[in-house]
Amino acid sequence: MSEQQHRTEHNWKASGFETRAIHAGYEPDPMTGAVIPPIYATSTYKQDGVGGLRGGYEYSRSGNPTRTALEGALAALEEGERGFAFASGLAAEDTVIRSVCRPGGHVVIPDDAYGGTYRLFDKVAKVWGVEHSPAAVSDVDAVRAAIRPGQTSVVWVETPTNPLLNIGEIEALAGDAHEAGALLVVDNTFASPYLQQPLTLGADIVVHSTTKYVGGHSDVVGGAVVVRDLELADAITFHQNALGAVPGPFDAFLTHRGLKTLGVRMDRHCDNAERVVEFLTGHPAVSQVIYPGLQEHPGHAVAARQMKRFGGMVSFRVTGGEAHALAVCENAEVFTLGESLGGVESLIEHPGRMTHASVAGTDLEVPADLIRLSVGIESADDLIADLDRALG
């Protein structure tokens, strides 16, 4: 597709994060002055003679102006060259896998990946001849040892990981991947581009579940891919269109609306998470608090280097085993019992039975006494009082 309508003409690259979040990707509509990208509810576009496309738009699977605006903003926030929006995080991941992996190839994946990501590699990609080996992303040596030079095309990491909040050192992992001729893919869902920009640290591809912090309001499912390299961008462009797992214009609009406030929301998520961590750390019914902001977290120093702050996700283990963990999840009231994360409302869940049920019985199994919190942006005192009651 040629240069598309509404691509911003102003160069926002030198602007601050919040300015880019609000302006990059879109200029007020030339005809109406609409400040916000309209929802272009159209599947196709009138051509001025065969092949005479207006602004490059031909058919909404390959491009839609509402989506283009979101994609421009995503690229700007991740400091990439090209952004791509998808119907879900897993659709984004699948498109990346098909773009850069081939039968007979191999991928290194986190040994505590999101359950759905593991399932995609283990139950789908493997059937098509792409092998995978799990390795601890926090252990650069283990990842290096898992790489098979000549066969590994991708080192895939989450950092922080879901749900154990392990930290991978992006710069070192990129070096090892590149040395073996592989690409480094970073799932940046937990940090969001406000806290961490993996492409600036040497990663080749960033993926997101935009369902989470990017969308931020638990009202839309979506995914994203951002790259710097233009050859990779061409491969993703081709597969985005060929596979067709794209968001509709209303979903793109909602995600873009959420994205504009990412910076202010993330700061509040981090403030509240710090308060919750402080409370949990002193609680007698809590045996371990997992948060990269804690000095004793093994990834603290790396996280402090590569992240602006430590995020809104907190995991903890309780003294009373699985039954206790389930009871805490069920007793919470301000924390809503539910899967997902990154919305303005606080969520609580039991990874072993919920988000990570698909890894039960594998090397990726998570502890049964583990609880995961997505700390929202409510009043911190209410969150703490709720946890206090639920733990009691």
Q: Does 306 bind ligand P1T (CB under 6 A)?
A: no
In this chain, which residue has its C-beta nearest to ligand P1T?
A: 89
Closer Cβ to ligand P1T, 37 or 247, answer by number: 247
- Which lies closer to ligand P1T via its Cβ, residue 93 or residue 369? 93
Compare residues 53 and 195 and give the one whose CB is closer to ligand P1T: 195
The catalytically annotated residue of 112, 187, 369, 386 is 187
Cα diameter, the chain: 73
Is 212 among the residues known to form the active site? yes
13: annotated active-site residue: no
Of 5-13, 109-117, 312-320, 325-333, which part binds ligand P1T (CB under 6 A)? 109-117
User: Exposure of 231 by Cβ count < 10 A (0-12 exposed, 13-18 middle, 19+ buried)?
Assistant: exposed
Closer residue to ligand P1T, CB minimum distance, 112 or 176: 112
Residue 315 contacts ligand P1T per CB under 6 A: no
Residues with Cβ within 8 Å of residue 135, at least 6 apart in sequence: 108, 109, 110, 111, 142, 143, 145, 146
By CB under 6 A, tell whether 251 contacts ligand P1T. no
**Do strands 347-349 and 336-337 pair parallel, antiparallel, or not at all (unpaired)?**
parallel
CB of 87 to ligand P1T, least distance (A): 8
Q: Which of 114, 194, 213, 291 is catalytic?
A: 114
Among the listed residues 7, 29, 61, 148, the single catalytic one is: 61
E strand or H helix at 82, and its extent? strand 82-86
**Amino acid at position 217, single letter:** H
Of the pair 174, 220, the CB lying nearest ligand P1T is at 220
Give 359's DSSP letter: G
How many angstroms separate the Cα of 23 from the Cα of each of 8, 151, 215, 238, 259? 8, 42, 16, 27, 11
Query: Measured from the CB of residue 21, what is the shortest distance to ligand P1T in angstroms?
Result: 20
- State in angstroms the smallest separation of the CB of 339 from ligand P1T: 4
Total residues contacting ligand P1T (rule CB under 6 A)?
18
Distances (CA, A) of 112 to 42, 70, 166, 305: 41, 30, 8, 22
According to DSSP, residue 254 is labeled H
Stretch that binds ligand P1T, among 38-46, 56-64, 144-152, 337-345 (CB under 6 A): 337-345
Q: Are 314 and 375 in contact (CB under 8 A)?
A: yes
Tokens 């502890």 locate to 367
218 binds ligand P1T (CB under 6 A): no
Q: Residue 295: helix, strand or coil by DSSP?
A: coil
Residue 157: strand pairing partners: 186
Q: Determine if 90 is a binding residue for ligand P1T (CB under 6 A).
A: yes
Look at residue 152 and give its three-state secondary structure. strand
Does 340 contact ligand P1T by CB under 6 A?
Answer: yes
Q: For the range 344-347, what are the long-range contacts, defined as Cβ-Cβ under 8 Å and sequence gap of 24 or more?
A: 344/216, 344/217, 344/218, 344/265, 344/376, 344/377, 344/378, 345/218, 345/376, 345/378, 346/272, 346/373, 346/374, 346/375, 346/376, 346/378, 346/383, 347/373, 347/374, 347/376
Q: Does 192 bind ligand P1T (CB under 6 A)?
A: no
Among 89, 263, 311, 352, binds ligand P1T (CB under 6 A): 89
Regarding 114 and contact with ligand P1T (CB under 6 A), the answer is yes
Contact call for residue 221 and ligand P1T (CB under 6 A):
yes
By the rule CB under 6 A, 135 interacts with ligand P1T: no
Strand 205-209, strand 223-227: pairing: antiparallel
> Among this protein's residues, is 114 annotated catalytic?
yes
Q: Looking at 4, 66, 162, 197, which residue binds ligand P1T (CB under 6 A)?
A: 162
Give the catalytic positions in this structure.
61, 114, 187, 212
* Residues at the site binding ligand P1T, with contacts judged by CB under 6 A: 88-90, 114, 116-117, 158, 162, 187, 189, 209, 211, 221, 223, 339-341, 355
